[in-house]
Amino acid sequence: MKVWTQDISPRTRHISFPNPSRVPKDELSRCYYKLSRVRTIICEGLGSSASEEFFLETCISRFKHLRVLWLRGSSFDILPSSIGGLKHLRCLSLTDNCNIKELPKSVCELRNLQYLDLGRCEELKELPANIKNMINLRVLFITTKQQRFPERGIGCLTSLRWLFIAECENLEALFDDIQSLTSLRKLLIGGCPKLASLPQGIKNLKALEVLMIGGCKSLKLPEGESNEPRSMSRLQSFMIGGLSEIVSFTPQTQQE
């Protein structure tokens, strides 16, 4: 608690809150009032109590120039809709939130966001409908309860470099416009037991360097794709495991 009674420089840009639920609201308010240049907020394990909800809402409404909002391992069930006002935000991590069921529509107004981590958000029903508007996303981690991803959603994120799809227990299909991800370098698909097939366009990901697939026991890889001359010419690492439907797999070297 001593940290809250000390002077905090108005020039402070990066703050980590170890346990905001124990700090009285008036102390938080005095702290916020002094600060206007904060660029990073790190608060892991944020809960759903009234004081913690007040903390999150105040951070979002007060610090309009945030670049990083790191809320790993939290358990709140509502992300304030005011999140859409953080026009400068580059990084948003909600990973390991076991309670959040949906994201506010306003999250898709974060046009400058480059890193979005929704990994292990096991109760998240679906991605926001207008995720296609997040045109500067470069890294995306996904865990949802949906059966398939809509067309003209993730496929519109042409700046995407890394895509991680994991622990999606109900996922049966990806998205057919995956070939539109012309900048994608790393694709990881894991722990999706109902995923039956991959979209045909995956073989046209010419920038792809790493492909990892594991724990998808229903997945069948299409035959003959290794013979395609245009198949993933920059691929450096291909790892598969836990695919019980695959009896054998013989990769072929692309001919020059």
Residue 253 belongs to a domain: no
Digit-coded pLDDT (tens) for 149-179: 988 999 999 999 999 999 999 999 999 999 9
Residue 158 belongs to a domain: yes
Contact indicator for 59, 92 with CB cutoff of 8 Å: no
Residue 251 belongs to a domain: no
pLDDT for 52: 86
Residue 248 belongs to a domain: no
pLDDT (average), residues 186-196: 96
Query: In the structure, what pLDDT confidence band is assigned to residue 244 with cuts at 50, 70 and 90?
Result: confident
Q: Whole-angstrom Cα distance, residue 188 to residue 202?
A: 12
pLDDT for 16: 86
Residue 190 belongs to a domain: yes
Q: Which strands, in side-by-side order, build the sheet including 237-241?
A: 14-16, 40-42, 68-70, 91-93, 115-118, 139-142, 162-166, 186-190, 210-214, 237-241
Residue 229 belongs to a domain: yes
Total number of domains in the chain: 1
**Structural domain harbouring 129:** 2-241
Which token pair is 35? 């600060």
Residue 247 belongs to a domain: no
Task: Tell how strand 210-214 and strand 68-70 pair up.
Answer: unpaired
156-159 contacts: CB < 8 A, separation 24 or more?
A: 156/132, 156/180, 157/131, 157/132, 157/181, 158/182, 158/183, 159/114, 159/135, 159/183
Could you tell me the CATH number of the domain that includes residue 161? 3.80.10.10
Digit-coded pLDDT (tens) for 101-133: 999 999 999 999 999 999 999 999 999 989 999
pLDDT over threshold 50, residue 3 = no
Residue 43 belongs to a domain: yes
159: closest CA among 142, 178, 182? 182
Neighbours of 222 (CB within 10 A): 12
pLDDT for 163: 98
Digit-coded pLDDT (tens) for 220-231: 876 554 444 356
